[in-house]
Amino acid sequence: MKSACEIAVIGGGLSGLAAASVLNETKKDVLLLEAAPRLGGRIHSVSHPETGKPMADLGPTWVWPPYQPSISKWLEILGLELFPQYETGPAVLDLQVGVSPRHQPLPGQQGMARIANGPRALIDALSTQLMPEQVKLHHKLLSVSRKSGQFVLKLEDPDDVEITATSVIVCAPLRLMAQDVDWNGLLDAQTLAIMRAAPTWMVAQTKVSILYGRPFWREQGLSGRIASHLGPLSEVHDHCSSDGEFSALFGFVGWPDRYSDQDQLRAAIEEQLVRCFGAQASNFDRMEIQDWSADPLICSNLDRETSAQHPQVLPSVIKNGFHQNQLQFGVAETANDHPGLIDGALEAGERAARRLLSNSV
């Protein structure tokens, strides 16, 4: 493995890949370092066992193109297509113990759409723009120091690798970067406090995808949507693929602490789906449960210990760059608009890369 590069990008999620893509356009010597065994970060999917094609999302799903210019631009650049979230027919309201769920229309969210083949299509398209030698998985950042005008990155690796870089873009969750990385005085107390105070969007959530042979709820004239006060899923939505190849529902676990293990949770989810949709709901092919709070490469201790909050736009100090602008933060939570969301990840990663490029002109 090379021990030096011009620009190191920390984090191989959507923001890191967007940053690397922008830098690659100018033929920069870029190395992308990812702690996990895969790219994508919070974008993850259930894959077909034979083809590897994304079947259902385990991370973010929706975009709002009328209000999100970054996603619209990047979809055009990457040649990806959108389709509307299916909301035809009434939802199921599952509200009271001992009372049968009832059907009722619910308003949808204007402009809400899905990406054909899921958000992983963004990851796949962006990663193909990088050469294999530019991407290093299983490389967790442990410390950053400064020596002779270069950043020295120490990585958790069997060989205790150190990499020197002229510039660094950090596209990993801010709380994790404050918790797990020794900055050796490169960041002041105010900056570290901002990082610790920035919640990582959706990492305390448990998302569930349930795959079926056919969309029986559509055949019943239902939208596939559930709104529940009983759980375990507080909300459920239709999650069928745009081409009709895969039929699925997905939902969010509203009360994860009620269940001692995943087997108990699975049984409770199946019971809820049967209660809301009838016996056909038990005939699923596959149920995948993604508890993001259990992933130490995504969720920090603070995210587990504090109530979930939507990220707010952060102070400009975290976005302006450090050490003559050679150290930039570009994770989704640093976005100027839609922090934490897919659109925010693209905007933040691109912004950090362009700030570096303008600095080097």
51: CB partners within 8 A, 6+ apart: none
Name the CATH superfamily for 1-43+119-200+309-361: FAD/NAD(P)-binding domain (3.50.50.60)
* pLDDT for 51: 93
Please give the biggest Cα pair distance in the chain: 70
Q: Where are the domains of the chain?
A: 1-43+119-200+309-361, 45-116+204-294
From start to end of 34-149, where are the E strands?
Answer: 45-47, 54-57, 62-63, 82-84, 91-94, 102-104, 113-115, 135-136, 140-147
Same topology for domains 1-43+119-200+309-361 and 45-116+204-294, yes or no? no
* Residue pLDDT, tens place only, 131-190: 999 999 999 999 999 999 999 999 997 667 899 999 999 999 999 999 999 999 999 999
* pLDDT for 359: 79
Low-confidence ranges of the chain (pLDDT < 70): 1-2, 158-159, 360-361
* pLDDT for 100: 95
| Structure letter (DSSP) for residue 294 | G
* pLDDT for 102: 97
Tokens 């002041």 belong to: 188
Q: Is the pTM of this model over 0.75?
A: yes
Q: Which fold has domain 45-116+204-294?
A: Polyamine Oxidase; Chain A, domain 2 (3.90.660)
Please tell me the distance from the alpha carbon of residue 353 to that of residue 20, in angstroms, as a whole number.
7
- Name beta bridge partners: 53: none
* pLDDT for 204: 85
* pLDDT for 304: 93
Q: What is the dihedral of CA 87, 90, 94, 96, to 10 degrees?
A: 150
